[in-house]
Structure 1
């Protein structure tokens, strides 16, 4: 089966470090966790430097909101671009416009795809997200050591705490370069001085025009001696990936100078032996 998602890619926004919060703000609109200090300014540029993964969620009575934790292995995640908020690890793809004004996160109408969710808990997850991520929410950024946290408080008193995980752009210090890689259905044995019988992905570069149509001549097949961050290859599946390619500053002597990070799987096809 072959699935082409390339036409959806043009709608995806590219995800600028929370300043070191050594001097907490005089006050914060949400309660500050013990041992954490408040970051005084909240700007879209700060929000977009992190993937915000849900760590805790409690209602006004202190009860945990279990409906928001239907996927324990894949916590609800918020990704911010300049003016767009995308929800990751929900059942459907969800997103909305947003702005930050006077310590309030203003979220526009949440839009979502309409796929059927495989179970009741996943379906309830989307509803639980949509009911809380809308309108005006009190927002605070907290810093505990090197780990930033974002706290959202709804008008009804629900408190959601998100843990910041640096984006690849933040980690590598630049926006990276977008490229497409085709991954062959089977990996190949490749030479590595420290790993006998090492298996490498077999890849080649692909090119697409602004309409998502293949263009030009694919590059030559060659083994990739490193991992693609965020990608797990299934033997027998040929995949086309949109990836971000980053230059690694001061790479180790025996390590790669380039890092590849998965953006999205554009195309996937089972190849019969």
Structure 2
């Protein structure tokens, strides 16, 4: 069962001039089809969920950080509930070693992340170093320095710049919500079954690997509550509000030792009731 906490929030809100910043992209070795300079995300679709994979991380000195992939671990993937141009929404995915969930929102010059919580599994040194660097970077705002619509087999792309001058290049992938329901590149899960679940208005203390806060859920209003130990992807939970959700339930093959074998992704908030 996953152990979640609320440390190291990832934040973003962004500043530098697009032309100057994107010239830095060219000098740090990003590929020729890298996004052209643009301070906004006007070329992206704003509605509907989307999945993005971090494919290149360029340090401020121009060197490349090795990213987890294949035998080296799961890729770094962000699942956005309402697209990266949305005013606000929820985000979940993998951060190099662990899984996370939280909130995000559009700013005047990019995107911010907040209220993030994640599992606390230990991984080999290189993956932990990458995750630690990512979590640290996302404590401060990101600036959008380029976007590019999809071209051929390459998905849409966005480049964000961290406060330390590092460039993170993300490519959109299939596999979430209305933009595809294929293999989930973050977890390897496929298919999925829709179901209705009721979520209690307060999270309660429970014990997984250690003390943590759990949701209480049931699949019918007249049934007893059960604990849900993991995140609920796509739910921006507000304490004091009870929810009736339509979710898609996935079986996760070979989950980490401290992670659930089931994951939920919100398809629709059917009902919100304060003090339920």
Give the TM-score, by structure 2 length.
0.49
Answer 1 or 2: higher relative contact order, Cα 8 Å, separation at least 6: 2
**TM-score when normalising by structure 1:** 0.49
Which is higher, the Rg of structure 1 or of structure 2? 1
